A and B are shown apart, each in its own frame.
Chain A
Amino acid sequence: MAEAPPPDTLAAEFDCLMSRAGITVPPQRRDAALAAYADLRGQIALLHGRYGPESEPSNVFRLSPPGGK
């Protein structure tokens, strides 16, 4: 994920994500929600660009035959 975009772009991105999720943020709560989104976006930036294709997620699973371990 790229560094945080300018405020207008960030707000448009947030509105788009809320709209796609079917969430209507009350106008009086929008500023706080947008600030929280900017904060979260900063955390998410720590996770991107960190791994090569060999790094697998923690939920990759393994099957066992019946009665196996």
Chain B
Amino acid sequence: MDTQDLSIAEMGRQLRAGSITAEMLARDALARVAARDGALHAFVLVTEERALADARRADEERKSGRDRGPFHGIPYALKDIYDTAGIRTTCHSKLRLHNVPKEDSVAAARLRDAGGVLLGKLATHEFAIGGPSFDLPFPPARNPWNPAHITGGSSSGSATAIGARMVRMAMGSDTGGSIRGPAAWCGTVGIKPTYGRVSRRGVFPLSWTLDHIGPLSRSVEDSAITLQVLAGHDPQDTASADVPVPDYSADLEKGVAGLRIGVPRGFFATAPAITWDVTAGIDRTISQLREAGAVVEDVQLPDYALFSAVGRVIMMAEAFAIHESDMQARLLDYGEITAGRFILGAAITAADFIHALRARRELTDAVNGALSHYDALLTLSALNTAPRFDQPTDSLSSASPIQTIPFNVTGHPAMSVPTGLGANGLPIGVQIVGRPFDEPMVFRIGRAIEKLSGWDSVKLPGG
């Protein structure tokens, strides 16, 4: 078996048993990157020397009896908006092409301290918003299931690297769906934890009050193990929550019997962009959950359009505040899509922004209200499968087939899980939404869907 088909937990078991080494895992992953990334462009920088040094250190530590835990010796990669000490961090932008941070982001430091093996930095839409674009310093990542198709964004390289079996886990960020969207379109798991669950410090911001960071991975269990490393209070991140960290793997195999799951069908049922195979996919998932003993019912939430409007106004206003001086002085150094999106922030008035914040309170209360009756919500991650690069789209329009922004507005944990392939052979997925800080329930339901859907037996690209 290829080592990249071993789960993170299984890699850990074999590392502890001595049947493989961290250096073997790193070399296998680097070889896969070398073989496949020329066509897929997941990586903007491969840190081979660092990877081999990390791996050898992990092997030496293990030989000397030091075990840093389940991530010790595991290869991973970082979206190129995560600061990495001494390693270029570009945000996929001309504006930060020569930026070399002095310190690691908190997430990078936690993964390093857990014994992880850094393979490199991954493609993103510019500043986690502008793409896919061909006018940036690096090409856009391509969908591993069919390179003529886009990945979704903005954690594009992260999804590509996992979907192409280069690495089991890669970090992304999610301000309106940038983890869950590419996860859905590339057939990976992707979780946006509760706002405040994982420190954002050292990750370049897009919108402070909507930004979440989290992992994309091959399996739900991989994500649970990774979140165990990442979660925890950071007093230097003003949004970080001082909430105890539970065992994210403890409930994975408990199944869904007796759970109550609400489906906000109004979000997607009549959306013009929805395709029949995606509708059939979520209906199949609902049937499987019911057969497994869950109570699954439709639930009413406010209109999706209101969530979308609130998210966009907040995101554009906050993003423009971050980029104001560069937009004034260096607008043409941004990619055309990025600049076109950021410009909109200059057109938002104070009253517009305050009304969005008032609506945010209403919408958060509405989701909390629904979750007082249900253990979790189930909805779509995306209305369709990944479009082709050459499919005409209005990249500046609010219309998006990605259905994820409501839970950036409200901060609830939400995870995309693949459930099968659409009519064109590209992945489809569903989204599970939990109560604040109830990631264990999100993982539990996600793991059940993973098993019920038979995703484990789907042949992956490059396999």
Contact = CB atoms under 8 A, between A and B. Distances in A.
B361 A58 contact: yes
- 4 tightest CB-CB pairs across the interface, nearest first? A57-B357, A21-B346, A36-B396, A43-B309
A37 to B, nearest CB: 5
Interface stretch (B114-122, B328-336, B434-442): B328-336
B141 to A, nearest CB: 24
B339 A29 contact: yes
Contacts, number: 107
Contact of B327 (A20, A23, A40): A23
Nearest to B242: A69
A50 interface: yes
Interface string A8-52: 000000100110111111100100110111011111101110110
A26 B236 CA distance: 40
Interface residues of B, number: 40
A57 B310 CA distance: 12
Nearest to A21: B346
Contact of B357 (A20, A25, A59): A59
Given A36-B397, A57-B360, A58-B364, A48 B355 contact: yes
Given A22-B328, A36-B396, A56 B343 contact: no
B343 A25 contact: yes
Given A35-B396, A36-B396, A57-B358, A46 B309 contact: yes
A43 to B, nearest CB: 4
B358 A56 contact: yes
Given A22-B328, A43-B308, A43-B309, 13 more contacts: A17-B346, A17-B347, A18-B346, A23-B327, A23-B328, A33-B340, A35-B397, A37-B344, A37-B347, A41-B347, A44-B309, A47-B306, A47-B359
B352 interface: yes
Interface of A: 1, 14, 17-18, 20-26, 29, 32-33, 35-37, 39-44, 46-48, 50-51, 55-59
Nearest to A17: B347
B360 A58 contact: yes
Nearest to B362: A55
B312 interface: yes
Contacts of A57: 354, 357-358, 360-361
Nearest to B329: A22
B317 to A, nearest CB: 11
A36 B358 contact: no
A48 B309 CA distance: 11
Contacts of B430: none
Contact of B347 (A32, A40, A59): A40
Contact of A29 (B324, B327, B336, B355): B336
Given A29-B336, A58-B364, A44 B357 contact: no
Interface string B355-388: 1111111101000000000000000000000000
A33 B211 CA distance: 25
B396 A43 contact: no
A55 B361 CA distance: 9
A3 to B, nearest CB: 15
Binding site of B, secondary structure by majority: helix, strand, loop or mixed? helix
A58 B396 contact: no
Interface string B290-311: 0000000000000001101110
A36 B340 contact: yes
B348 interface: yes
A42 B399 CA distance: 12
B312 A43 contact: yes
Interface string B113-134: 0000000000000000000000
Contacts of B352: 1, 44, 47-48
A39 B209 CA distance: 23
Contact of A39 (B306, B346, B396): B396
Given A21-B324, A21-B346, A43 B398 contact: yes
B340 A44 contact: no
Contacts of B184: none
Contacts of B346: 17-18, 20-21, 23
Query: Which of A1, A14, A47, A51 neighbours the largest number of chain B CB atoms within 10 Å of its CB?
Result: A47
Nearest to A69: B242
Contacts of B348: 40, 44
Contacts of A56: 358, 361
B316 interface: yes
A55 B356 CA distance: 11
B344 A40 contact: yes
Given A17-B347, A36-B344, A43-B398, A50 B355 contact: yes
